[in-house]
Amino acid sequence: MTISRRSRQLAAHLTKLETQTIDLSSYIRRWSYDVMGDLTFGKSSRIELMSDGDENGVVSSGQKATVLFEVLGEIPMIFDLMCYLPNICMQEIHVLRKLANDLLATRKQVQGPEPDICTHLAGSDTTSGVLTLLLYYILADRQVYKKLSAELDLNFRHVIEDNELSVLFQLPYMGAVVQEALRLGTPFPGLPRVVPPDGSVICSRFIPAGTIVGVPAYAQQVSPENFWPHPLEFMPQRWLPGGLGPGSVLNKSAVMCFSSGPFGCLGKTLAIRELYIATAQLLLAFDLELDTSFSHDKFKAGIQNMRSTLFEYPLLITARQRGGWKFLVYLCSLASSLFYASAARI
């Protein structure tokens, strides 16, 4: 399974960086693009950002293009005009367009045995943003980290095999961590919709046809009316039976980070699985810690939700390998099989 294989590849890369300070956010971005490259273009994917690096700036172009969509999407006419102006703001869109054209041309030539969902490369930035925040939150609270790590250790050895994934998806604390990360990590500042021709009654008020209305997903997800106490804090316990104690509030239906209805996220199940698998594989493989040079204040101040979550300050960590020689042998065999798989594609 692609997500597991790529997550183990991520672990293999971090092993090489043991004892160094690692910018985890940048590795997660590359991991996410590699996963979506495989799922979208199957065997014809040439996206290997973890192995080859990102010389052409695919990740940063993807993010800037998303931000452009978010801002200029409010005035579609200007957006259409700017697409024809080669070097004004739209450089990033052109980088992505070239990448997409190259990938589609290769896909037409290569028929792989794995099915692919060749629609478009959605979901890379959103998933990696939420995963980066999830890892930050658990690294920032050692109690949460230890509890999650203990639950994983109780159920798995150093790696999770594909036939064990159903066990992973049932783990209660792991599930609570993912829910809490989605609640606080939603990358969408708002989800605009146009009121239909007959108008609509919203919150007991009539809203005329054509009006643009929107739900600010993040505000709803941190509202004290929906989550209490400590609505702004990362507390997975709130999702478990008994919540945060008597009087605590958990309004599950207020979480709309994937939106809902006919235009809701098509990749919701996949994204949630990515969060489970990558988190579990990393915690089983390493003892992760925030680097001593890491600044919580700078990291928090540098988070910007613009449809994609931008991190102006890196998530600096150290990773100490767990599990001794057995895990090392496993990673070496994985690295060589990845090498042969990509050599066979060239």
Binding positions for ligand HEM, rule: CB under 6 A: 122-123, 126-127, 130, 186-188, 191, 257-259, 263-267, 270-271
CB of 99 to ligand HEM, least distance (A): 17
Helix axis angle, 124-140 to 142-155, nearest 10°: 110
CB of 125 to ligand HEM, least distance (A): 9
Q: Which residues are annotated as a binding site?
A: 265
Find out whether 227 and 250 touch, Cβ atoms under 8 Å. yes
CB of 202 to ligand HEM, least distance (A): 17
Decide whether 115 or 324 has the Cβ nearer to ligand HEM: 115
Find out whether 66 and 307 touch, Cβ atoms under 8 Å. yes
CB of 39 to ligand HEM, least distance (A): 7
3-class secondary-structure state, position 269: helix
Rounded CA-CA distance 10/137 in Å is 20
Decide whether 187 or 314 has the Cβ nearer to ligand HEM: 187
CB of 275 to ligand HEM, least distance (A): 7
Decide whether 57 or 73 has the Cβ nearer to ligand HEM: 73
Structure tokens at 143: 């109690």
Find out whether 101 and 46 touch, Cβ atoms under 8 Å. no
Q: Which residues contact 298 (CB under 8 A, 6 or more apart)?
A: 313
Q: Which residues are annotated as a binding site for heme?
A: 265
Decide whether 133 or 152 has the Cβ nearer to ligand HEM: 133
Decide whether 44 or 318 has the Cβ nearer to ligand HEM: 44
The distance of Cα 238 from the centroid of its chain, to the nearest Å, equals: 22
The type of residue at 307 is: R
CB of 346 to ligand HEM, least distance (A): 26
Decide whether 29 or 158 has the Cβ nearer to ligand HEM: 29
Task: Evaluate the CA torsion angle 103, 105, 108, 112 in order and state its sign.
Answer: negative
CB of 305 to ligand HEM, least distance (A): 10
Residue 218's region, left for phi above 0, alpha for psi from -120 to 50, else beta, is alpha
Rounded CA-CA distance 112/310 in Å is 34
Decide whether 174 or 244 has the Cβ nearer to ligand HEM: 174
Find out whether 276 and 177 touch, Cβ atoms under 8 Å. no
Instruction: Determine which helix (DSSP H) or strand (DSSP E) holds 202, and give its type and residue range.
Output: strand 200-202
Residue 121 to residues 32, 96, 231, 257, Cα–Cα distance (Å): 11, 10, 33, 19
CB of 278 to ligand HEM, least distance (A): 12
Decide whether 4 or 318 has the Cβ nearer to ligand HEM: 4
The type of residue at 131 is: L
Task: Evaluate the CA torsion angle 308, 309, 312, 314 in order and state its sign.
Answer: negative
- Reference 281, options 63, 3, 43; nearest CA is 3
